[in-house]
Chains A and B, each alone.
Chain A
Amino acid sequence: SQKIEQNSEALNIQEGKTATLTCNYTNYSPAYLQWYRQDPGRGPVFLLLIRENEKEKRKERLKVTFDTTLKQSLFHITASQPADSATYLCALEDSSASKIIFGSGTRLSIRP
């Protein structure tokens, strides 16, 4: 069955360091992958989309990679700040192409 896995353990990072979050998927061949941020009590907010023919995508301090051989995406936040603390979700279009499937998210905490 199709599965998306994100590290369920919270990630604690010192301010200024680079945070790296992982998203692995199985039994998929998604055309694209998305990353969202979710703050407590709020809905997810779209951050980045990367297509299968793109190796890397950048937006300000964010960088996403997409390795279709490893079936993995990495999400990087450089020069991390306490305001980056949130839960980050990866999402894939499922094989029916009629809906997006979300991972369970990784909680990131940036300590000053």
Chain B
Amino acid sequence: NAGVMQNPRHLVRRRGQEARLRCSPMKGHSHVYWYRQLPEEGLKFMVYLQKENIIDESGMPKERFSAEFPKEGPSILRIQQVVRGDSAAYFCASSPSGTSFGTDTQYFGPGTRLTVL
């Protein structure tokens, strides 16, 4: 059973370009979470999605950032018109039944390291 897959592992973009990060959850997991981690800092929650639904996007910047988890295919985190401050590691995690069930742990992918030049 493959773990959470993220690609690309490293992404370099120039200011103003779009960054598209992909996350394939573990098999059987229907809940996906995206986090951002700056150097020497903890994980900051961005968004929580189930298939075709955004459950909680309270950690997502209001502009330029969007996320989706379609019925088929990976979850996508999209950052439009990137700026240098977007440079960070972006982690995706998945769980089988969501945090509200109280005992679900999250399985993390290896992350995508975004560098904005």
Interface residues of A (CB under 8 A from B): 6, 31-32, 34, 41-46, 49, 51, 89, 93, 96-105
Contact = CB atoms under 8 A, between A and B. Distances in A.
Interface residues of B, number: 26
Contacts of A89: 42-43
A101 B105 contact: no
A46 B98 CA distance: 15
A46 B111 contact: no
Given A103-B42, A104-B42, 13 more contacts: A6-B42, A42-B111, A46-B106, A51-B102, A93-B100, A97-B99, A98-B48, A98-B55, A99-B48, A99-B99, A102-B35, A102-B44, A105-B42
Contacts, number: 61
Nearest to B46: A99
Contacts of B33: 99-100
Contacts of A42: 110-111
B41 A46 contact: no
Nearest to B56: A98
A43 B111 contact: yes
Nearest to A30: B102
23 contacts: A32-B103, A34-B105, A41-B111, A43-B93, A43-B109, A43-B111, A44-B91, A45-B108, A49-B103, A49-B105, A51-B102, A89-B43, A93-B100, A93-B102, A97-B102, A98-B99, A100-B99, A100-B106, A102-B35, A102-B42, A103-B42, A104-B42, A105-B42
